[in-house]
Amino acid sequence: MQVKDKVIVVTGAASGIGKALCERFAIEGASAIVATDINSEGVNATVSDISDQSQALGITCDVGKEEEATELVAKTLEAFGHIDLFCSNAGIFTPGGEDVPTEKWQAIWDINVMSHVFAARAVLPGMLERGEGYLLNTSSAAGLLNQVGSAPYATTKHAAIGFAEWLSITYGNRGIKVSALCPQAVRTAMTAGGDGGVAGLDGMLEPEQLANTVIETLAEERFLVLPHPEVLTYMRRKTDDYDRWLGGMRRLHGRFEDIYRAREESD
């Protein structure tokens, strides 16, 4: 997919990765960009930054609630007639293990997993009718590998990958393209005040660097969007010798355990 002249929706667009995607899509010549987030002020700022280059519409939306995700798609269709690319990007991080309270497990599940489901339910009918469309779902390298220090994050990001794979398998022969964005550490509010922990071992990327990789991958219509190319090597090591990989991850856990415990206590 070439972004030029496309109608694009980006969730989590008030800051970080989402804002950088909106800005890059505008530079690439998207005809219309719908920026959405639960943060109204941030959405308005993003729209202001890109409105000289593309038609821009800001919508406040909690994508973890299906009725709001459905309304988001309906408003976009009303304004622009169709959606070429839906970037389901919003996500949250919750530190801790299996003992994280159930309500926090549910909250991260709703944002990191169900928001992708709600988006697909709302946007796929129109895409399938047109015989074309693209879904870019933000997961994380944690969805391909794991996340030391956070069972909720690791679990939900794995689920997000599984759902994206299922969408590609199920609808790929009907004109629907799917990509999963899987970075390691990116300088956003989620990593503010730190070096990204385990995810930062291969370096902290700026959101604008990640957006470059997104454009390249969309053009090639590949499934995995890997701003940190090292992740592919780690995946191969994992599948080549699962037990050896788990041993290495246990060593990483020991190395970073105190850091993540402190983060959990301060959450």
Q: Which two tokens stand for residue 183?
A: 């970075």
Catalytic residue among 134, 153, 171, 260: 153
104-111: long-range pairs with CB below 8 Å, 24+: 104/152, 105/152, 107/64, 108/152, 108/153, 108/156, 109/152, 109/156, 109/159, 110/64, 110/65, 111/63, 111/64
Does the active-site annotation cover 234?
no
What is the spatial distance between Cα 137 and Cα 88, in angstroms, rounded to a whole number? 5
What is the spatial distance between Cα 185 and Cα 177, in angstroms, rounded to a whole number? 26
Q: Which two tokens stand for residue 217?
A: 């991958």
Spatial neighbors of 112 by CB under 8 A, at least 6 apart, are: 91, 92, 153, 156, 157, 159, 160
Q: Among 14, 2, 25, which residue's Cα sits nearest to residue 211?
A: 25
What is the spatial distance between Cα 90 and Cα 115, in angstroms, rounded to a whole number? 8
- Rounded to 5 degrees, φ, ψ at 178 are -135, 135
Could you list the active site residues?
153
